[in-house]
Structure 1
Amino acid sequence: MISKDISLGFFFLSQTGFGALGNSFLLGLYTITFLTGSRLRPIDLILIHLTFVNDLVLLSKGIPQTMDALGFNHFLDDVGCKLVFYLHRVARGLSLSTTCFLSTFQAIIISPRKSRWTELKTKVPKYIVHFCFLCWTFHLLTNFLILIYIKGPKRNKNITETWNFLYCSATSYNSANVALYVFIISLPDMACVGIMIWTSGYIVFILYRHHQRVQYIHENNLTWGGRPEKRATQTILILVFMFVSFYSLNSILALLINFKKLPSGIIHTSVFLAACFPSCSPFVLIISDSQVSKYYLTLWGKIKPQP
């Protein structure tokens, strides 16, 4: 049992460490690129925000989960549990909102010139920062109830009016009230997932039509750009597919955990699924997005010592 817990702890540590390393690399790359005077794409601002909140998701959940698996009991008090759960929930919501905005932004950018979204192409990039601030305000306010019902670790196993979340616990309420709260708090999440699915379908349609046109028209004469734009669009489709898949599975388990006292293995699985997207997405961007490689090569050319 001890060796199993240690293996689980190192597994969460590896997942958190690699994911945080990838997100931090992208954050550092974008920051240094900006400071050295290179021009970033408008979409890079969204990716900067996404990598930052993904780092928060990983650190706020991965570190406590690792410590618990390694046997560090009661390392958080009431205040610590409230802050950790609150930060994780806010960061998770921000990751969802930012990914939704990312897919919507790309759908607008690649839309044909004569579409209804033509006017938005020049307006949306101006409001990226405003959107990020709005998302932070919304999620900070809507998740404040976590500061009320999340408590420190349950030291007495005979107490039945609390729910055990391994290293923290939560006050148990009436099932109807819990169901109502979960439904209300999930409405924005479901709306974002629906928007991502719709915009992804629209992007696939645009790519399909592009594939048909390229058989007759030279690629450089198309209305929305050539290969770099196409590769960036495909990268975003991969990110959206990953997010929706992992988010849906994690949401099902999280819903069960909120209503039933399940074994710790189910909780560990839920944590693993919650960390899959933030830990894998930076490497998808590094490998798939040609602009990231361009930033790296440009930066390396500027800082490489001259012979």
Structure 2
Amino acid sequence: MVLQFIKETIFLFMTMVGILGNMSVSVHYMFSWWGSPEKKPIHLILTHLSFTNIILLLAKGLQKTITVFGLRNFLDDIGCKIIVYLERVARGLSICTSSLLTVVQAIIISPRASGWSRLRPKSAWHILPFFSFFWILNGLISMNLIHSITSTGLNMSQLNNSKNYCYFMPESREIKWIVLPLMVLRDAVFQGAMGGASGHMIFLLHKHHQHVLYLQNSKLLYRTPPELRAAQSVLLLMLCFVFFYWTDCALSLFLSLSLGDSSLMINIQKVLTLGYAVFSPLVLIHRDGLLPACWHAQ
């Protein structure tokens, strides 16, 4: 019981760190948005990503708070549906927004003579339709949760054997074959775009590195453009995303095939599901001196 309490407390601590970090990042970029005479698309994307992370952390953290402090009957059936639905939607929004961030940053650092420069957003308002599309897409994909999630009224004796207050009801095979392919297709498309944009940025950064080496050998002074420094930060964010996403997928596959006691792996997976939402604002805060310069240079 004590060990379980310690594990849940650590989970709550990570949740609070993630919420505070994302709130700091969100407030910073919102002030930059309103204070800048020219609205920067990157400001809006990072604000939306932070807001998405906050929703995910709150949805996860609320369920853990119920477990840690034994708050019985805190969530009714409707409450469970809302919390789990928002968690699933926020997870999809995180994938879509991260992909958009990578693609836009890749377009920004592309040479103006290339064809990619035509796709460069002229203002932040051009980004808003993408957000609307992301919300509608992920909201529709997660609609099945409204019917498959229910709350359970547990007494204290049952609480010792069950740590969940919201449960998935069995779904029909038809629903599973509709929802699962849509989720896989969404992840494949947006992660494919993310991978292509990341590869393009790596190629441009490599060319820049070769140019810097040439100038250094020529003993000429050269300062790295802020756009390229920002691209390095975005690549670090995407590396963080890929690590947590695919490690979570690998553990999920392992747990589905495992027949023995996998309590340790389950606890690790719980942490990994929040990894990107917790660490992404810390990456931005750590490299904050690099990112704003890029946005002022756009």
Would you say same fold, with TM above 0.5? yes
**Amino acid in the other structure paired with 2:107:** I
Cα distance in 1 between the residues matched to 2:123 and 2:272:
32
- The equivalent residue for 2:280 is 281
- The equivalent residue for 1:216 is 214
**Amino acid in the other structure paired with 2:139:** L
* Residue in structure 2 matching 1:169, options 164, 167, 170: 167
- The equivalent residue for 2:229 is 231
Pair 1:143–1:165, CA change in 2 (3 A): farther
- The equivalent residue for 2:198 is 200
**Amino acid in the other structure paired with 2:196:** W
Show CA shifts across 1:231-250 (max 9, x none).
21111001001111111122
Pair 1:38–1:12, CA change in 2 (3 A): farther
Does the alignment pair 1:57 with 2:56? yes
- The equivalent residue for 1:82 is 81
Equivalent pair of 1:235/1:285 in contact (CA under 8 Å): yes
Cα distance in 2 between the residues matched to 1:123 and 1:96:
24
* Residue in structure 1 matching 2:239, options 238, 241, 248: 241
**Amino acid in the other structure paired with 1:169:** Y
Show CA shifts across 1:1-42 (max 9, x none).
x21121112101110111110111111222233444565532
**1:183 positional shift:** 2.7
Bigger Cα displacement from structure 2, 171-180 vs 272-281: 171-180
Pair 1:68–1:147, CA change in 2 (3 A): same
Alignment of 1:81-230 (within 5 A): 81-123=80-122, 125-153=124-152, 155=154, 166-173=164-171, 178=176, 181-216=179-214, 226-230=224-228
Pair 1:238–1:63, CA change in 2 (3 A): same
Percent identical among aligned pairs is 34
Pair 1:70–1:9, CA change in 2 (3 A): farther
Cα distance in 2 between the residues matched to 1:74 and 1:118:
55
**1:280 positional shift:** 0.8
The alignment's TM-score, normalised by the length of structure 1, stands at 0.81
Alignment of 1:240-279 (within 5 A): 240-254=238-252, 265-279=264-278
Q: Aligned pairs, how many?
A: 283
Equivalent pair of 1:108/1:118 in contact (CA under 8 Å): yes
Cα distance in 1 between the residues matched to 2:163 and 2:192:
29
The alignment's TM-score, normalised by the length of structure 2, stands at 0.83
Please give the root-mean-square deviation of Cα atoms over the aligned residues, in Å. 3.0
**1:254 positional shift:** 4.5
Cα distance in 2 between the residues matched to 1:165 and 1:199:
41
**Amino acid in the other structure paired with 1:29:** H
**1:58 positional shift:** 0.8
**Amino acid in the other structure paired with 1:185:** M
- The equivalent residue for 2:22 is 23
